[in-house]
C-alpha cells in the first residue's frame, strides 16, 4: 500500500496530542508532511508550542510545524480550556516554553505543499477549528484538486452538541470557516461526536498505555485520564470520549468505522444553533451528498489501535 501523505491541522489540545503521537508512530503507513497549528482549544502560541512539544517528546523534533490563524474568520474567539486546561495539555508536564509566534505560515506551507504535489496526492486531516483550511480554500481554489481528501473531526448531529445543545466545539469555534470548507467540493469524511461518543476511554485504558513500554507512552497516558473539569458523568464513571485520534484510526483502519454519504450544511447565524452541522438524513433538501459522515465507530478497536501505536514510539 502506498503511504498516504498528510498535513495535520490541529489545535493541541489533549486529544490532538494523542492524534499527533499516533501519526508519528505510523510512519510506515502515513507520511506526515507537516503540522499546522490553529487557535482553538488554547491560543495559537500554545497550540503551536504544544504541537512542537509532542513531536519532541515522541522523538521527532524535525517535523515541520507552522503557526496559522490566531483567530476565527468572523466570530469572537472561544477556547476549550475547560476540557484541556490553561496549557492545553492538562495532566502533562510541558517542559517547553511558548514563544512569540508569527501567524500565517500555515497557509503558505499548505499552498507550497499542494503546488508541488500531484492531483489527489495530499490528505488534509483537520482536528481543530477550520480557519487554516478555510484560508487555503479561499486563497488557492486552483490547488484544491491536489487534495485527495479532507478528513475532519467536527460537528454533531444525532449526538447533540458539546458546547451548545446543537454545536460541537471545532465547528462552533469557527462556523464560517467550516461552512466554506464543507462547500469546497473535495471528498470529505466527517468524524463527528456521533462517532467519537462511541470511543470512550477509561482508567484501565490509561494504565495500559502507561505500561506499554515507552517513555512517550508513559507520559501521554495522562491524556487518557479525564481533565479536572471533564464532563465524565454523561459517559459513566471516569469515562471520556476520545475525539481527534479517530481521524488517524480512520486512515489506518477504516474498517473500524461505518459511514453514510449525506448532504451537510453549517449554521452560521442561528440564535440558538450557531455552529450546528445540519445533516440531511432523509434527503429532504434534494441536495447531493457532500460528505461521508461517520455513523458508527468500534470504540474498543480504536483504543486498542491507539495504545498499540503510541506504545511502539
Ligand atoms: C473537539 O474539540 C476539541 O476540544 C477537541 O480537541 C476536539 O478536536 C471535540 O469537540
Ligand atoms: Ca482538536
pLDDT at 35 (0 to 100): 98
Residue 57 belongs to domain with CATH number: 3.90.245.10
User: Is the beta carbon of 174 within 6 A of some atom in ligand 1?
Assistant: no
**How far are the Cα atoms of 196, 253, 282 from residue 64, in angstroms, in the given order?**
28, 25, 43
pLDDT at 214 (0 to 100): 93
pLDDT at 162 (0 to 100): 95
pLDDT (mean) for 208-214: 95
pLDDT at 1 (0 to 100): 60
Closest CA to 229 of 62, 44, 81, 31: 81
pLDDT in tens, 55-69: 999 999 999 999 999
Contact between 32 and 9 under an 8 Å Cβ cutoff? The reply is no
pLDDT (mean) for 114-130: 98
pLDDT at 227 (0 to 100): 75
Residue 4 has pLDDT above 90, yes or no: yes
pLDDT at 232 (0 to 100): 67
How many whole angstroms from its chain centre is CA 77?
18
Distance in angstroms (rounded) separating the CA atoms of residues 65 and 17: 13
User: Closest ligand 1 atom to the C-alpha of 127?
Assistant: 8
What's the 240 CA to ligand 1 centre distance in angstroms?
12
User: Is the beta carbon of 83 within 6 A of some atom in ligand 1?
Assistant: yes
pLDDT in tens, 62-95: 999 999 999 999 999 999 999 999 999 999 999 9
What's the 269 CA to ligand 2 centre distance in angstroms?
23
If pLDDT is split at 50, 70 and 90, which confidence band does 2 have?
confident
Structural domain boundaries enclosing 163: 4-311
Residues 6+ apart with CB under 8 A from 184: 137, 144, 150
C-alpha cell read off for 248: 488517524
Which residues are catalytic, by number?
243
Query: Integer distance in angstroms from the first to the last C-alpha of the chain?
Result: 22
pLDDT in tens, 291-310: 999 999 999 999 999 999 99
Taking the CA atoms of the chain, what radius of gyration do you get in angstroms?
A: 18
pLDDT at 230 (0 to 100): 72
C-alpha cell read off for 199: 470511543
Distance in angstroms (rounded) separating the CA atoms of residues 205 and 225: 9
Distance in angstroms (rounded) separating the CA atoms of residues 216 and 10: 19
* Pocket mutation for ligand 1, best pick of 244, 245, 247 (most atoms within 8 Å of C-beta): 244
Distance in angstroms (rounded) separating the CA atoms of residues 39 and 77: 8
| Average pLDDT in the chain | 96
**Which is higher by pLDDT, 99 or 38?**
38
pLDDT in tens, 235-245: 887 889 999 99
Distance in angstroms (rounded) separating the CA atoms of residues 68 and 259: 30
User: Is the beta carbon of 194 within 6 A of some atom in ligand 1?
Assistant: no
What's the 15 CA to ligand 1 centre distance in angstroms?
7
User: Is the beta carbon of 192 within 6 A of some atom in ligand 1?
Assistant: no
Residue 312 has pLDDT above 90, yes or no: yes
* Pocket mutation for ligand 1, best pick of 10, 162, 169 (most atoms within 8 Å of C-beta): 169
pLDDT in tens, 267-293: 999 999 999 999 999 999 999 999 999
Closest CA to 20 of 49, 3, 198: 49
What's the 154 CA to ligand 2 centre distance in angstroms?
9
**What are the residues facing 124 on neighbouring strands?**
7, 150
Domain count, the chain: 1
pLDDT (mean) for 163-185: 98
Neighbours of 287 (CB within 10 A): 12
Amino acid at each position: 500500500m502506498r503511504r498516504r501523505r498528510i498535513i495535520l491541522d490541529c489545535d493541541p489540545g489533549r486529544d490532538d496530542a494523542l492524534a499527533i503521537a499516533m501519526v508519528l508512530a505510523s510512519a510506515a503507513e502515513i507520511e506526515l508532511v507537516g503540522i499546522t497549528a490553529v487557535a482553538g482549544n488554547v491560543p495559537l502560541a500554545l497550540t503551536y508550542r504544544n504541537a512542537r512539544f509532542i513531536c519532541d517528546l515522541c522523538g521527532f523534533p524535525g517535523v515541520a510545524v507552522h503557526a496559522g490563524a490566531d483567530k476565527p474568520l468572523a466570530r469572537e474567539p472561544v477556547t476549550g480550556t475547560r476540557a484541556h486546561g490553561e496549557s492545553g495539555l492538562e495532566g502533562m508536564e510541558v517542559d517547553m516554553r511558548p514563544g512569540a509566534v508569527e501567524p500565517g505560515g500555515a497557509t503558505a506551507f499548505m499552498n507550497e505543499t499542494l503546488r508541488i504535489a500531484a492531483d489527489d496526492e495530499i490528505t488534509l486531516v483537520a482536528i481543530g477549528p477550520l480557519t487554516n483550511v478555510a484560508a487555503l480554500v479561499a486563497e488557492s481554489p486552483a490547488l484544491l484538486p491536489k487534495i485527495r481528501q479532507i478528513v475532519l473531526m467536527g460537528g454533531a448531529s444525532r449526538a447533540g452538541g458539546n458546547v451548545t445543545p446543537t454545536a460541537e466545539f471545532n465547528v462552533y469555534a469557527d462556523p464560517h470557516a467550516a461552512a466554506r470548507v464543507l462547500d469546497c467540493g473535495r471528498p470529505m469524511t466527517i468524524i463527528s461526536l456521533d462517532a467519537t461518543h462511541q470511543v470512550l476511554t477509561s482508567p484501565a485504558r490509561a494504565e495500559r498505555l502507561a505500561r506499554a513500554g515507552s517513555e512517550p507512552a508513559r507520559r501521554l497516558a495522562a491524556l487518557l485520564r479525564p481533565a479536572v473539569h471533564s464532563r465524565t458523568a454523561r459517559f459513566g464513571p471516569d469515562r471520556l470520549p476520545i475525539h481527534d485520534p479517530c481521524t488517524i484510526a480512520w486512515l489506518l483502519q477504516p474498517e473500524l468505522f461505518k459511514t453514510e454519504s449525506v448532504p451537510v450544511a453549517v449554521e452560521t447565524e442561528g440564535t440558538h444553533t450557531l455552529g450546528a452541522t445540519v445533516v440531511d438524513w432523509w434527503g429532504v433538501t434534494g441536495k447531493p451528498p457532500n460528505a461521508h459522515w461517520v455513523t458508527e465507530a468500534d470504540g474498543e478497536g480504536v483504543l486498542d489501535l491507539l495504545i498499540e501505536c503510541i506504545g511502539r514510539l
